[in-house]
Chain A
Amino acid sequence: MRWLSPLEPNNRHQGVRDERFDGIGDWLLETSEFREWRDSVGEADNAVLLCSGNPGVGKTYLR
C-alpha cells in the first residue's frame, strides 16, 4: 500500500487523539450546520463543510 502514497496520516491522527481531551469541542457536533452536513448524503452541491479560524483557536484541537 505504500506504493499508493508515502503519507501516513494515521500517525498524526493517533497523536491528536492521544493529546486531545474528551468533551472539548463537542459543541461543533451539535451545531445544525454539522448535523445537516453529516446527514446530507447524496447532495453533491452540499458536500463540503469548512471550519475556519485563526491559528491557535482549536481547529485541530486545543493544546
Chain B
Amino acid sequence: MVIDSLCDQAKKENIAVAGLYCDFLSQQDQTTTNIMGAILKQLAGRSSIPNYLREAFQGAKAEFGGRGLRLAEMIGLLKIAIASLPQVFICIDALDECLPKCLPELLQALRNIARESPNTRIFLTGRPHVGEVVQRYFAKTVVIPISPKTDDILNYVEMRLDMDDEPEAMTNNLRADIAGAILEKISDM
C-alpha cells in the first residue's frame, strides 16, 4: 500500500521507488548483496542500462568467467544510481524474515547509503523486536505501531463477504455475527 502510494506520487513528481519483501522461504537468496542488487535493479532499470552498470558488468565478465559483485561494490553502484535521481524511496518489508545474521549488515549498508545520499528515504516494516535493532543503526527512527483498525477490519470483512460465491446464504444477521466475532478476536492482538 505504501509502495503503491509512493509510486502514484512518483508519477507526478520526479522520484523513484524501490522495494523488497523479505521472506523466510527465500532466506538463502536474500543476502545483503542480493537485496541491494534488487534495489539497484529497480532504480537503474527505469530506462536504458546506464553506462556505469554496463562497465561494471563488462569488467566482471572478464574476470574469473563472470564474477558477481561484492557488497561494497554493489553499494558503490547503488550510490551512483541514487545520485542520478532527485529523490529515492527504499521500502523493505518484513525485516524480521531476513536471516538474523544478515540484518545488521543490511542496516549498516542502508545507513551507509542514507548518510552519503540524503535524498534517500527508507521505509521498513517488521515485528516489534526489530525496532531495537533498527534504532541501533538509525537512532532517530520514527516508529509507527501497527494494530488492526476497527474500520479497516469492518470494511475488509464487508468486501470479502461481497465477493462470497454463495451470496444467497448470507443474511444481515450473519454478516453482523461474522464481523463481531472477528473484532472480538483482534481485540486480543
Interface positions of A (Cβ within 8 A of B): 1, 3-10, 12-13, 16-17, 20-21, 23-29, 31, 33-34, 36-38, 40-62
Question: What's the nearest-Cβ distance from chain A to residue B112, in Å?
Answer: 11
Knowing that A49-B122, A57-B147 are A-B contacts, what are 7 other residue pairs whose CB atoms are under 8 Å apart, sorted by A's residue number? A3-B66, A5-B34, A7-B29, A37-B142, A48-B140, A48-B142, A50-B143
For the A-B complex, the count of residue pairs with Cβ-Cβ distances under 8 Å equals: 177
Q: Which residues of A contact B141 (CB under 8 A)?
A: 48-50
B142-A61 in contact (CB<8A) = no
A residues near B57, Cβ cutoff 8 Å: 3
**Main SS class of interface, A:** loop
Using a CB–CB cutoff of 8 Å, the interface residues on chain B facing chain A are: 1-6, 9, 19-21, 23, 26, 29-30, 33-38, 40-42, 44-45, 49, 53, 57, 60, 66, 68-69, 74, 87, 93-94, 110, 114-115, 118-128, 130-131, 134, 138-149, 151-153, 155-156, 159, 189
Bound complex: CA of A35 vs CA of B141, how far in Å? Answer: 14
Sample (27) of A-B pairs whose CB atoms are under 8 Å apart: A1-B45, A4-B40, A7-B26, A7-B37, A9-B20, A12-B21, A21-B155, A23-B155, A24-B155, A28-B146, A29-B1, A38-B121, A44-B114, A44-B115, A47-B118, A48-B114, A49-B142, A50-B131, A52-B125, A52-B126, A52-B131, A53-B146, A54-B128, A58-B146, A58-B148, A59-B94, A60-B21
